[in-house]
Amino acid sequence: MQNELQSAIRFDDFHAVFGSQGVVALAWWLGAQHVSQIRTEEQGFPFLYVTGRTGSGKTTLLSYLSTLNGSNSVTSYAPAHATPMGLARALSDAGEHPVVLEDGYGSDRRFDWSQLAPLYKSEPIWVITQGGHSQITFKGTLVISANPPIECSKQFVSRTVHIDLLAPHTVNSRYHAESLQQLTADQASVFSQFVQRQAAQTISTIQRLAPVYAASLYDKHPSQPNARATQIGGLLMALVDALSLTLNLSHEQRQEALGQIEHNVALADLSY
């Protein structure tokens, strides 16, 4: 069944374009399908933060992930251009689904990303509206797309999984990217259906392995001052294992993703 699922969602094309970064992003996306339960288990769930210059594949990556959830297009919001009430409505209407936010580069307005930091734990935030203040409780999670990187605090970045798309497309990767762009939501919807059927297995994998991985990262890198880095790293590594069970990843694909996560935790940098 896993090999059939790989074929249905064109995973080989996806891996050819995005490599181990794509595996980490897809593992995060798998976790986002169970965000409320994971957030309860882990006392938080990180945001996905995708950066890269024009043409690096940000749109292709986010479009692919959205297709897996049954959407043929990506709906995104630019907080720097949106009214506080508009942003509040987008978050409150999302349910437990990811919300894609784009940095308003070139805008005269600057958005204070730190005001969204409480959403890591689904804590309520306040926004200024015409009627005064409104409280928002957001049950989903955030995907942030930016070029160049957003201007924000280290505290906010520490709540993210940073996918930095640096490599330009080659002739070969363009061929695989075009294949991904032809994938329809109807074809890819089998992913979300399978993920929901495997929910208990995914949560069990996280419960068993996330604390083990986090403890191992802490033991290997005791000088790492950021406890959240090892916690998020442990969660991501467990999600890679859960994704491996879902898609039957090769040993090399799994090890490369796990190795990249550990490498970046060691550097105290959550860029994947």
Structure token pair of residue 47: 């945001």
* Distant-in-sequence, close-in-space partners of 60: CB < 8 Å, separation ≥ 6: 17, 177, 180, 181
Digit-coded pLDDT (tens) for 21-34: 999 999 999 999 99
User: Is the confidence at residue 272, as pLDDT, over 50?
Assistant: no
Q: Residue 104 in contact with residue 111, Cβ under 8 Å?
A: yes
User: Is the confidence at residue 49, as pLDDT, over 80?
Assistant: yes
Digit-coded pLDDT (tens) for 99-153: 999 986 656 678 889 989 999 999 988 776 666 677 878 899 999 999 888 989 8
CA-wise closest residue to 129 among 86, 92, 169, 171: 86
pLDDT the model gives residue 129: 65
Between residues 23 and 76, which one has the greater pLDDT? 23
- Average pLDDT score over the chain: 89
pLDDT the model gives residue 235: 98
What is the C-alpha separation between 182 and 185, in angstroms, rounded?
10
The model's pTM: 0.93
Q: How confident is the model at residue 236 (pLDDT cuts 50, 70, 90)?
A: very high
Average pLDDT over residues 147-171: 85
Average pLDDT over residues 152-165: 91
Domains of the chain listed by start with CATH number: 2-266 (3.40.50)
pLDDT the model gives residue 156: 92
pLDDT the model gives residue 103: 85
Q: How confident is the model at residue 263 (pLDDT cuts 50, 70, 90)?
A: confident
3-state secondary structure the chain: CHHHHHHHCCHHHHHHHHHHHHHHHHHHHHHHCCHHHHHHHHCCCCEEEEECCCCCCHHHHHHHHHHHCCCCCCCEECCCCCCHHHHHHHHHCCCCCCEEEECCCCCCCCCCHHHHHHHHHCCCEEEEECCEEEEECCCCCEEEEECCCCCCCHHHHCCEEEEECCCCCCHHHHHHHHHHHCCCHHHHCHHHHHHHHCHHHHHHHHHHHHHHHHHHHHHHCCCCCCHHHHHHHHHHHHHHHHHHHHHCCCHHHHHHHHHHHHHHHHCCCCEC
Amino acid making up residue 65: L
